[in-house]
Amino acid sequence: MSHRVAMLRGDTVYRVHWEPGTDLLVGVCHCGAEHDSEDPVALWDWLLSHPEGHDRG
Amino acid sequence: MTFARNQWYVAAYGREIGRELFARTVLGEPLVFYRSEEGEVVALADRCVHRRYPLSESRLEGDTIVCGYHGFTYDKAGACVFVPGQARIPRTARVASYPVVEQDSFVWVWIGDRDRADRSRIPRAPWLADPGYTTVSGMEPLAARYELLVDNLMDLSHETYLHGGYIGTPEVANTPITTEVDEDNGVIYVSRHMADAACPPFYAKSTGIEGRITRWQDIEYHPPCLYLLHSRVAPVGVLPEPDGTDPHGFHVEVVYAITPETEHSTHDFWAVARDFALDDEGVSEFLRESNRTVVLQDVTALDLLERVIAAEPLGYQELSINIDTGGLAARRILKRMVAEASEVAPV
């Protein structure tokens, strides 16, 4: 989505987008896989487990 | 968790180091600093090898320190060049010397294995020594572990509660946040980009912007020591150029250096640089006083938190919520740095 902010330009950047007013976090791995969560601890666990569970379907 | 050794830390502002001996403890290591006759900064262990007397309480003679207890004399590299009452200088008579780099108004010191010190890895805060910016700065001692200051600075939602009336507006609290982690380079970036926000009176007055603004507030943390808060305001819709230059934006660069003193105390260096109203002393005074007030409010809260944590049993289970996404990333990278440093420590 175009409105998502991306400031870092490295090859291995993990991103978590959060819209205050909702409770949802969207994690985006450097491989392109995405995952939603309401728990930042669980979401970091998912991101850092790359490539496990990061099939882009 | 303890310290991340084998890293660069800010030990002082360059202006603090002159021809007087200057003591400062970094990562539990007492250091003595001075400026040589040629102007370079020297850092040595602040304990005489003989009977541990603090060299900072001694005397500078040319480029040597003469211990104030028995006269052991050390050169810039920490080698003993004179011992009292005998001609032979014992082979082990030396104090450790520390790699030092003066950059961006700071004195950076390497705490760790000397041969691993790479000055190109020191993160930059170029605004602090840029004539295109005016900077106010200071340092406050914090009686709390450095991790508490990292937590504090990574989550700016505390602005609304701890610093009510100073910084933080409802729009800041209601703006989408993106947290990024560059795993290879060890950088954490938390962005708040407000496309259309009210212009706080301070910015309206000091920049001359009329009407609403595009306002960015971006945290860039280079663990363990350097924290940058890039604050950018511009008339609504005015963005940086594709090449990264930003001639139509107004910038306030807030810089913190988070340097552990001991396991329970921290040097809290802070600086605020701006690229507008450069010669307006009223603007400098406002930024100096408001930032110092905010830092002191943090100091009071974190000192209290340190006492609470120090007195509680191990294993307290904290709760992390969405606003902690960046703070959690910072903690993880710090933990990794501590682990890496202990892996290579000599046994």
Digit-coded pLDDT (tens) for B120-157: 999 999 999 999 999 999 999 999 999 999 999 998 77
CA-based nearest residue to B162, from B298, B16, B57:
B298
Residue B347 has pLDDT above 50, yes or no: no
Cα B99 to Cα B120: distance, rounded to the nearest angstrom = 13
CA-based nearest residue to B216, from B205, B225, B229:
B229
The radius of gyration computed from the CA coordinates of chain A, to the nearest angstrom, equals 11
CA distance to A29, A49, B177, per residue, from A54 (Å): 8, 8, 23
Mean pLDDT, residues B203-224: 94
Which of A6, A7, A14 lies nearest to residue B183, judging by beta carbons?
A14
> Mind listing the pLDDT tens digit for each residue in B260-283?
999 999 999 999 999 999 999 999
A23:B175 CB<8 A? no
Q: Which residues of B196-206 are buried (b: 16+ CB within 10 A; e: fewer)?
A: ebebeeebeeb
Q: Which residues of B240-264 are buried (b: 16+ CB within 10 A; e: fewer)?
A: eeeeeeeeebbbbbbbbbbbbbeeb
Q: What pLDDT is recorded for position A56?
A: 61
Q: Are B95 and B44 in contact (CB under 8 A)?
A: yes
**How far A40 CA lies from chain B's nearest CA (Å)?**
6
CA distance to A48, B89, B222, B288, per residue, from B66 (Å): 53, 15, 38, 39
Q: Are B111 and B97 in contact (CB under 8 A)?
A: no
> Mind listing the pLDDT tens digit for each residue in A8-57?
999 999 999 997 788 899 999 999 999 999 999 999 999 999 999 897 64
**How far B221 CA lies from chain A's nearest CA (Å)?**
12
Contacts of A18 in chain B (CB under 8 A): 176-179, 322, 325
Contacts of B322 in chain A (CB under 8 A): 18, 23, 25, 38, 40
Best mutation target among A13, A26, A43, A45 (most B Cβ atoms within 10 Å) is A13
A44:B189 CB<8 A? no
Q: Are B310 and B264 in contact (CB under 8 A)?
A: yes
> What pTM was computed for the model?
0.94
A5:B178 CB<8 A? yes
- The Cβ of residue B184 has, within 10 Å, a number of other Cβ atoms equal to 10
Q: What pLDDT is recorded for position A2?
A: 43
> One-letter amino acid identity for B111?
I
Contacts of B191 in chain A (CB under 8 A): 5, 7
Tokens (6 digits) for A22 = 């909702």
Residue B218 has pLDDT above 60, yes or no: yes
Q: What pLDDT is recorded for position A1?
A: 39
Q: Are B156 and B256 in contact (CB under 8 A)?
A: no
Which of B175, B182, B193 lies nearest to residue A8, judging by beta carbons?
B182
CA-based nearest residue to A24, from B277, B54, B321, B74:
B321
Contacts of A5 in chain B (CB under 8 A): 176, 178, 191, 193
Cα B313 to Cα B317: distance, rounded to the nearest angstrom = 11
Q: What pLDDT is recorded for position B90?
A: 94
Which of B179, B184, B322 lies nearest to residue A11, judging by beta carbons?
B184
A10:B182 CB<8 A? yes
Residue B344 pLDDT grade (very low, low, confident, very high; cuts 50, 70, 90): low
Tokens (6 digits) for B282 = 């009223």
Q: Is the CB of residue B178 less than 8 Å away from at least one CB of chain A?
A: yes
Q: What pLDDT is recorded for position B161?
A: 67
Best mutation target among B169, B171, B178 (most A Cβ atoms within 10 Å) is B178
